[in-house]
Amino acid sequence: MTSNSTRLAALAADFAQRGGKVDERIDQVVLRGEFSSEGEQAEWIALSGQDVSPLGSVSIRDRWSNEMSASDPFVARGEVTIIIVKPNILGTAPFLFEGSAALHLETERGYGFVRVASLDARAGFQTRGLEVGTWDFGKDLTSPPEPVAINPRKFVRDYVPEREIVDDLSPWLITLEPAVESDLFAGWRKQAGRRLLGALVNGASLSAEHVMFHVSGPPVVDFNANRSDLSTAWRELTNCAEWVYIEGHDREVRHVLFVAELARSAQASVKFEDTARRALEGAKASYQAHINSSSRETLKALGDLRKTIIDETQKVSQRAQDMTGNLWRDIAVSASPFVLKVLVDAGKAASAMVSGGFYFAAAFFIVMSYMFQRSINGSFLANQQDAREAWLRTLYSHISESEREAIAGTPVRDAVKSYEKIRDLVGGVYGILALILCAFGISTLGAGRSAAPEPAPTSASSGATAEPVAEVSAPDSDGEGQ
């Protein structure tokens, strides 16, 4: 019950304030000390048998580790051990004492929610991966959402056996500062300065029992990870870390530039917060110069890219025009039988057969030629469409959609539409020519058969009798006949 848990937290605070030892962990609190009176002992024992949710349970043991009950007499200056079990919620660290939570934030990591029963509500704060607030016994503890990890290990070499460089920087990048200062925020700030600097150097190693951060430079500079001024420079380090890891996508370039400026700005006589501030200003200036230099190269590359696209588009358009011209040139081949029509003598049977067969062969030829050429051209256009879609997909992040449409979309579609229009028109002409050729062939064969000569009739078949021829004698010399 909420009232029991609230009373239990108050008793624990009084017990610790009188000098009792407090050993608080994530899962339980262990109090060691003495009861001040018989009434306090009775109240503790009474709570141990009641529901103290959201806390788990309470057990009280004497100096011999025996469980105490209401029948046990009060012993002045008798040492007791009180164990308070806390709820176990994934990703949430509940605490009864602010000092324990501050120590946790100073030395530990890995919890998204930290709830403290004794914390002033105005002392709560939030980061990109951590939320610290008051533990309200009237509300259920919940697990935090999964944060967006910011991993600096890709850029920092870590040679410390216990892994000095964290794999997620989000718990130390603040988004909401507390309204009032507290030991809790001071503990978090101490570790935050160390974690942020660890993400802004080239490497970390263990030297003479001390963790050292290394900056390659030039010049080469080493920073002690335990230096006291890191907690006072946490705000400047936060600005530096956000510029490197949050503000842009090119984290590697920003990290390299910042590390170089940090090495150049580091001076023993200068406060570390001033060093971090100067390093950030120098890194921003260097990055702007890098952007200006890269912009010229980028503009040239984009110009070359646009020229390549236009050249490829012109090739496709020219190919479509060539295919259109080829369709018209084939009509000249189809017209050759009409010239032969004039030259061939249709009156001869042999010539009529040859001419008629040629007409049919020519009709078959132009039909098959048109079909083959249409199929080849269609396959070419389909392959070009697939290839064009493939390389257009690679341009989405470099050239706008309207520009892609203007230089690569509309010209090709217009050329293909022109080809298809001429293709259909030529197909109609081919069909008419084929029909005419077939008609000429049929006409030629029919005319040849009707013009064939009739055979001469014989005497037997005529039925007529030959007239006898009178024999005439030649006249003699005196003019009389024989």
pLDDT tens per residue, range 186-236 = 999 999 999 999 999 999 999 888 999 999 988 999 999 999 999 999 999
Residue 290 within any structural domain of the chain: no
CA distance 57 to 263: 54
The answer to whether residues 58 and 47 touch, using CB atoms and an 8 Å cutoff, is yes
Structure confidence by residue, pLDDT tens digits, 226-248: 999 999 999 999 999 999 999 98
Residue 342 within any structural domain of the chain: yes
- Answer yes or no: do 222 and 363 share one domain: no
Residue 468 within any structural domain of the chain: no
The answer to whether residues 275 and 229 touch, using CB atoms and an 8 Å cutoff, is no
The answer to whether residues 399 and 313 touch, using CB atoms and an 8 Å cutoff, is no
- Answer yes or no: do 96 and 84 share one domain: no
Structure confidence by residue, pLDDT tens digits, 18-38: 999 999 999 999 999 999 999
Domain-ending residue, one of 266, 289, 305: 266
- Answer yes or no: do 114 and 145 share one domain: yes
- Answer yes or no: do 103 and 228 share one domain: yes
- Answer yes or no: do 157 and 63 share one domain: no
Among 223-227, 249-253, 432-436, which is the least confidently predicted range?
A: 432-436
Cis peptide before 144 (omega within 30 of 0): no
**CA angle (324 as vertex; 321, 325 as ends), nearest 5:** 90
The answer to whether residues 444 and 356 touch, using CB atoms and an 8 Å cutoff, is yes
Domain-ending residue, one of 61, 88, 115: 88
- pTM, two decimals, is 0.62
The answer to whether residues 290 and 388 touch, using CB atoms and an 8 Å cutoff, is no
Among 70-74, 76-80, 462-466, which is the least confidently predicted range?
A: 462-466
**478 pLDDT more than 60:** no
Confidence category of residue 471, pLDDT binned at 50, 70, 90: very low
Among 143-152, 241-250, 358-367, which is the least confidently predicted range?
A: 358-367
- Answer yes or no: do 130 and 226 share one domain: yes
Determine the structural domain holding residue 22 and report its residue range.
Answer: 1-88
- Answer yes or no: do 142 and 68 share one domain: no
Task: Return mean pLDDT, the chain.
Answer: 82
**How many structural domains comprise the chain?**
3
